[in-house]
Amino acid sequence: MATQQVRGTHSWERRGIFLTLACILCAGFMFALAYLADAGDKRASEAQKDRAAAAPSLKGLPATDLAEDEAIVHALNRLGYGPRPGELQRVKDVGLAKWIDRQLHPESINDSGMEARLSRFTTLSMSSEALLERFPRPAVAAKREGVSPQEYRKEQQEKLEAARQAADGPQGSNNRPEQMAEQPAAQQNDDSQQGENGRPNSRSRSQQTSSPQVSSPQTMAPDELAEILLPGAKNLKNQNGSGNSPANPGGNPLMNFEQLQTPQRVIGELAMAKMDRAIYSEKQLYEQMVDFWFNHFNVFAGKGADRWLLTSYERDAIRPHAMGKFRDLLEATAKSPAMLFFLDNWQSVDPKAWARLQREQEERRAYRGRFGGPFGGPRRLPPPASPNPKQNPAKRQERGLNENYGRELMELHTLGVDGGYSQQDVIEVARCFTGWTIRQPQRDPEFFFNERLHDSNPKVVLGHKINAGGMRDGEEVLDLLARNPHTAHHLSLEIARHFVADNPPEALVERMARTYESTDGDIRAVLHTMIYSPEFWSREAYRAKIKTPFELVASAARAVAADNDLPLALVQWTGRIGEPLYQCQPPTGYSDKAEAWVSTGALLNRLNYALALTGNRLPGVRTDIRSLLGGEVGGEPGAVLDRAISVLLSGEASPQTRETLEKQMKDPRVLQASLDDPVTQVNEDMIAGLVLGAPEFQRR
């Protein structure tokens, strides 16, 4: 009773404490980069380099002023999604260079445990045609069952609700997680920003790359995001009541999830598989590269048929080539139905060829009308329908050249915005790719080259004459672009920005570009040049990158050895913090720079996620912080804090961070006592959550 009185009396005071903590940590989040860089410069010395060189685990790596543990943590954070408990020592035992070599050759790594975990997501192995058949649009599914679309949606909702109620155990309502003040819920934005035929409304490049706004999916609350990924999935939030404690086991989220037979389940499984791979896969660098390339060749799941096409896109176009030759990856994406649909190239045709085809069809119809009756006599046809005066003439089967793919192919995928191409080059490239289409996006979504719609006339791209004929026109453009020096520099810059720094050293980028050119675009070789460069191991690069929301969610789950029945809650929190998976609308993909992710509101959500994770309050996700920290220091908040910093931050916390955290050790929620009550067991979960919210953990 005393505890409840204290909670009631001091609720606003505590909220103020947490907001103060958030502001202090946010300041550290935004300014600690320079602070730690300056401190690192002061600590760096030749003696440190000598000690690092003498460390057996660092043999074969460039000289660095990072300490042995720092170098290993740096590699785990940059080339993967952060260390798991005990991983630092395991890498130290095997040697960091050997660990890196295995990561560069993922085919040599046994990842059978990951494959077994993914087997629960049945859509991952299905073809796009099978996905369309199994998870049809509501209108199609309703027609099959002989009901209205509204009745069908209601039926699906009732199935999910029945499964949830059958699986749920007793639920409590008085154990809500301690969280900071919630941010205003954003408005739902599934297809609202799309124009006709599911195409994104036209926007300038500056608008496309601006920070997420309140009305965008990037700032949606978990329940709203869940409704995009999985309509009805927000009901899963109550499946375990207030958490996942042994006293309140709740239901089986996988059982509930499998009741969903809507198209959104396809993207839901894809997003959850991505999360599981980041957390549990042994092929950490490979998963980083899959994420990098998907973002580079971004496709938005919310555009029409793409929600059925993305599974094949990632599985068949991105993953097989993520560490191979860039030319192969480029062609795989160019011929992917998902990319063809997203950038509208499937509708791009030679206007003259289209007009000729329309005339031929009219002539065939006229011929059948004249001679298609019984015994070769004339067929009696109904009178032609009078034209609709309200119909836009431009929408009457009029098709022509679409420049979207040609522009993004050069600006984003290969040459870069300063790659030396002109608007005329964009047009010429678009002409080369006419006829690259999809048979039927909603029935038979396979790549198909339609010779009759191709512009067969010669083209000139970047000063080179293209006249190979047919599909070879487009393939010759891919050859030309993949081997262009601008492409080598653009890709090297993007890779270095992802792995080294927001503004990587130009000398490093140039060396990577030379490797790209000398190896004919070998991605693995470019990575090797980057990883074995002095710049990668410099003090300036250490913890210099801000984690994206996806990296933060995955790395925190790895750090606390979280296990899950279904990672839907983790996917939802990734969206809440600002990066809904597969939901980036512009073809630019999500930003790789800190400025896109640093704000007070974002930090509040990051800290709330950390508290929910360590507090065992995410449905379907389990953590055991007491076992993780050792359990011997439960009554001493200072000792628990020291242990949490050691385990979760590898012992690294700036004086500013440590001072801020130490002030929170007097909070009654941390002490689990009020007034003069004796402290018997501090709240280790909350202490661990606060440590995960520290600026040091927000960087990699």
Q: φ and ψ at 149, to 5 degrees?
A: -55, -35
pTM of the model: 0.81
Higher pLDDT, 102 or 176: 102
Whether the Cβ atoms of residue 148 and residue 142 lie closer than 8 Å to each other: yes
Taking Cα atoms as reference points, which of 286, 699, 309 lies closest to residue 502? 699
Distance, CA of 179 to CA of 173 (rounded, Å): 15
Query: Would you say 473 and 461 are in contact if contact means Cβ atoms under 8 Å apart?
Result: no
> Of 132-136, 258-262, 673-677, which gets the smallest average pLDDT?
673-677
Q: What is the DSSP letter of 665?
A: G
Q: Which residues contact 4 (CB under 8 A, 6 or more apart)?
A: none
The pLDDT value given to residue 380: 56
Handedness of CA 174, 3, 684, 681 (dihedral sign): negative
Q: Quick check: 245 pLDDT over 60? A: no
Mean pLDDT to the nearest integer, 333-356: 92
Query: What average pLDDT does this structure show over 419-424?
Result: 95
The per-residue pLDDT for 585 is 94
User: For residue 150, what pLDDT is reported?
Assistant: 82
Please tell me which residue, 24 or 118, carries the higher pLDDT value: 118
SS3 annotation, 334-388: HCCHHHHHHCCHHHCCCHHHHHHHHHHHHHHHHHHHHHCCHHHCCCCCCCCCCCC
Nearest C-alpha neighbor of 276 from the set 638, 570, 27 = 570
**114-128, 221-235, 451-465, 469-483: which range is least confident on average?**
221-235
pLDDT of residue 21: 56
For residue range 24-79, list pLDDT tens digits in order. 455 444 444 433 333 334 444 454 555 555 688 999 999 999 999 999 999 999 99
Q: Is the pLDDT of residue 337 over 70?
A: yes
Q: What average pLDDT does the chain have? A: 79
Q: Give the per-residue pLDDT at 263.
A: 85
Q: Which residue has the tokens 């999910």?
A: 160
Contacts of 519 (CB under 8 A, 6+ apart): 525, 526
Two tokens at 544? Answer: 């210099």
Tokens 């050691």 belong to residue: 646
pLDDT for the residue numbered 184:
34
Contact 414, 487 (CB under 8 A): yes
Instruction: Pick 212 or 398 by higher pLDDT.
Output: 398
Q: Give how far the C-alpha of residue 565 lies from the chain's centroid of Cα atoms, to the nearest Å.
A: 20
The pLDDT confidence band at residue 20, using thresholds 50, 70 and 90, is very low
Q: How far apart are CA 513 and CA 488, in angstroms?
A: 5
Residues 522-571: pLDDT tens digits? 999 999 999 999 999 999 999 999 999 999 999 999 999 999 989 999 99
| Residue 506 and residue 495 in contact, taking contact as beta carbons nearer than 8 Å | no
- In Å, what is the CA distance from 667 to each residue of 388, 683, 690? 72, 10, 12
> Which pLDDT does position 391 carry in this prediction?
52
What is the sign of the dihedral through the CA atoms of 608, 613, 617 and 620? positive
Q: Is the pLDDT of residue 692 over 70?
A: yes
Which distant-in-sequence residues (6+ apart) come within 8 Å of 613 by Cβ?
Answer: 556, 557, 560, 562, 621, 623, 689, 692
Question: Which range is least confidently modeled, 209-218, 226-235, 298-307?
Answer: 209-218
Q: Which of 217-221, 288-292, 373-377 shows the lowest per-residue confidence on average (mean pLDDT)?
A: 217-221
Of the candidate ranges 72-76, 441-445, 516-520, 622-626, the one whose mean pLDDT is the lowest: 441-445
